[in-house]
Amino acid sequence: MENKTIDESRQGEVLDLAIEVNKGGKKLFLESYGCAMNFSDSEIVASILKDQGYTTTTDMNEADVIFVNTCAIRDNAEQRVRQRLNDYRKAKRAKPEMVIGVLGCMAERLKAKFLEEEKLVDIVVGPDAYRDLPNLLDSAQDGRKAVNVILSKEETYADISPVRLQSNGITAFISITRGCDNMCAFCVVPFTRGRERSREPQTIVKEATELFEQGYREVTLLGQNVDSYLWTGGGLKKENPTADELKDATTFAQLLEKVALVNPDLRVRFSTSHPKDMTDDVLHTMAQYENICNYVHLPVQSGSSRLLEMMNRGYTREWYIDRISAIKRIIPDCGISTDTISGFCSETDEDHAETLSLMELVKYDFSYMFAYSERPKTLAERKFKDDVPEEVKKRRLQEIVDMQQKHSAIRTKDGVGKVHRVLIEGISKKSKEQYFGRNSQNTTVVFPKGNFKPGDYANVLATSCTTATLIGEAV
């Protein structure tokens, strides 16, 4: 298992995004870092600017506008963005009229500092202000400051049809919530993305239906905490909804069912779940519909109840184990992944041992693992001391990685000798004669092309495997 930090998770790497729209317009270079929510937001930005006549390009030197959609969850993510901003400034020296902008969580966190102190960019736009981009571009092109980082209690971009950037035409993201009400001590997201609000279910089902009609065969429902999705007739989640409001509400389990019913050939995934909010209703809905994938990403962060309380995670080790038991009972063949932090404030060897023992108990299919990185304005920064030495964090992280590699190999090998329904996503990187896709449990499967094409489902008998990939033949 590769050691992936959180800013590299779910999508993992930077994408240079290219589309062809309105070839007579100006050119936009758009780059995204971080989680799947950022990539989904970039598709919204591309849609807004497409309506303004922008064509996107993969060559930043020919761009009229450069935007970088940023992640603020770890310091190294911000440092990578700063390095890229220096590259953009070099391009701007050759083309002074070029506009450079920072979007997303890092823009929200640092606000006008980019404009005033560091003079690295011309535009700063938070994740709730993308509709204002046309006005901000006009201001920047006139030489005026252009910043909008106002957080919204209503914005969900529900009416905007995202431009699918660098899409394989098979899989797509659908954002169902924005923001987060969980104040986890280590996390900056509530400060950069604001209060949690849910998107109207009809708009989600409509988007899923349109995607299926366009040939897409898998959607991933996205949110910082999808399990707490609740539509009661208004976006912002009410703390104490009335009985009448709850009677007519749409829960996440009900939303899952609505999307699954779009078409049995449309696969449905979701990310990310929160252990304190995952209900048996969701698991029973997953078990009821074959096209809802048997896969749950359930971040644990630590196996120590003491640290979980300090992290303000809202559950104990015992609660988490109960949720894992429920998943395995209701969906016996479910794939399970997680997020794990090493070296959180005051973590002892005993706390670390509890994380390892929990991993041994669950045997995750894979995990996103990283050492604790203190973030400004978080509860942990205000209340706790980042007192675990870096060398200890790294040693403990390596022990977590080593154990996960062992478990990933075991879980993948369990799939050998079984037939897997695979949605073909494209040609394998290692051989042009093979396709790759994923099974319901999110494991990659490769097999000879035969007469199939991307977007088809194939039943594949796995005959061998690597640590993380099944290899087989269509049957």
Residue 356 has a pLDDT of 98
Query: pLDDT class for 117, splitting at 50, 70, 90?
Result: low
**What rounded mean pLDDT belongs to the chain?**
89
DSSP character string of 192-250: HH-S-EEPPHHHHHHHHHHHHHTT--EEEEE-TTGGG-EESSSSBPPSS--HHHHHT-E
Residue 10 has a pLDDT of 34
Please name the amino acid found at residue 175: S
215 lies in the same domain as 129: no
432 lies in the same domain as 343: no
Highest mean pLDDT among 42-46, 68-72, 392-396: 392-396
Residue 13 has pLDDT above 50, yes or no: no
Domain assignment present for 218: yes
- To the nearest whole percent, how much of the chain has pLDDT over 90? 64
What are the φ and ψ backbone dihedral angles of 228, each rounded to 5 degrees? -90, 10
Q: Which of 102, 97, 24 is nearest to 70 (CA)?
A: 102
CATH of the domain at 241: 3.80.30.20
Q: Are 317 and 303 in contact (CB under 8 A)?
A: yes
Domain assignment present for 252: yes
Count helices and strands in the chain by DSSP H and E runs: 15, 22
392 lies in the same domain as 435: no
Alpha helices in 291-389 (DSSP H): 305-310, 317-330, 349-362, 379-383
How large is the average pLDDT for residues 380-387? Answer: 96
Q: Are 265 and 208 in contact (CB under 8 A)?
A: no
How large is the average pLDDT for residues 70-99? Answer: 85
> Rounded CA gap, 5 and 166, in Å?
23
The residue behind tokens 């087989």 is 472
Residue 245 has a pLDDT of 66
> Rounded CA gap, 424 and 407, in Å?
26
434 lies in the same domain as 293: no
361 lies in the same domain as 427: no
Number of domains composing the chain: 3
Please name the amino acid found at residue 105: C
204 lies in the same domain as 347: yes
Domain assignment present for 67: yes
What are the φ and ψ backbone dihedral angles of 326, each rounded to 5 degrees? -65, -40
457 lies in the same domain as 407: no
Q: Are 31 and 68 in contact (CB under 8 A)?
A: yes
- Helix, strand, or coil (residue 258): helix
How large is the average pLDDT for residues 267-282? Answer: 96
For 50-54, 121-125, 244-248, 385-389, which range has the lowest pLDDT when averaged over its residues? 244-248
Residue 12 has a pLDDT of 36
Highest mean pLDDT among 94-103, 171-180, 294-303: 294-303
For 7-21, 24-38, 257-271, 442-456, which range has the lowest pLDDT when averaged over its residues? 7-21
Alpha helices in 51-125 (DSSP H): 75-94, 105-110, 113-116
102 lies in the same domain as 214: no
The whole domain housing 444 covers 419-474
Between 469 and 2, name the one with better pLDDT: 469
Domain assignment present for 166: no
92 lies in the same domain as 122: yes
Please name the amino acid found at residue 191: F
> Rounded CA gap, 367 and 48, in Å?
35
> Rounded CA gap, 310 and 380, in Å?
8
**CB within 8 A of 371, min separation 6: which ones?**
341, 342, 343, 390, 393, 394, 396, 397
Residue 7 has pLDDT above 70, yes or no: no
Last residue of some domain: 397, 413, 429? 413
351 lies in the same domain as 423: no
Query: pLDDT class for 457, splitting at 50, 70, 90?
Result: very high
For 69-78, 102-111, 277-286, which range has the lowest pLDDT when averaged over its residues? 69-78
| Stated length of the chain | 475
CATH of the domain at 433: 2.40.50.140
Last residue of some domain: 82, 115, 148? 148
Domain assignment present for 159: no
Is residue 434 classed exposed, middle or buried when 0-12, 13-18 and 19+ CB atoms within 10 A define those classes? middle
Domain assignment present for 157: no
430 lies in the same domain as 352: no
- To the nearest whole percent, how much of the chain has pLDDT over 70? 92
Q: Residue 191 is encoded by which pair of tokens?
A: 């400060």
> Rounded CA gap, 337 and 325, in Å?
14
Last residue of some domain: 413, 433, 461? 413
pTM attached to this predicted model: 0.85
> Rounded CA gap, 204 and 213, in Å?
14
Domain assignment present for 175: yes
For 51-55, 168-172, 346-350, 413-417, which range has the lowest pLDDT when averaged over its residues? 51-55
Residue 460 has pLDDT above 60, yes or no: yes
Sign of torsion over alpha carbons 365, 370, 376, 382: positive
Residue 3 has a pLDDT of 37
Specify the DSSP element, H or E, that contains 344: none
230 lies in the same domain as 288: yes
For 159-173, 228-242, 324-338, 427-441, which range has the lowest pLDDT when averaged over its residues? 228-242
Residue 304 has a pLDDT of 98
Residue 5 has a pLDDT of 34
Residue 317 has pLDDT above 70, yes or no: yes
- Helix, strand, or coil (residue 111): coil
Domain assignment present for 1: no
Q: Are 177 and 224 in contact (CB under 8 A)?
A: yes
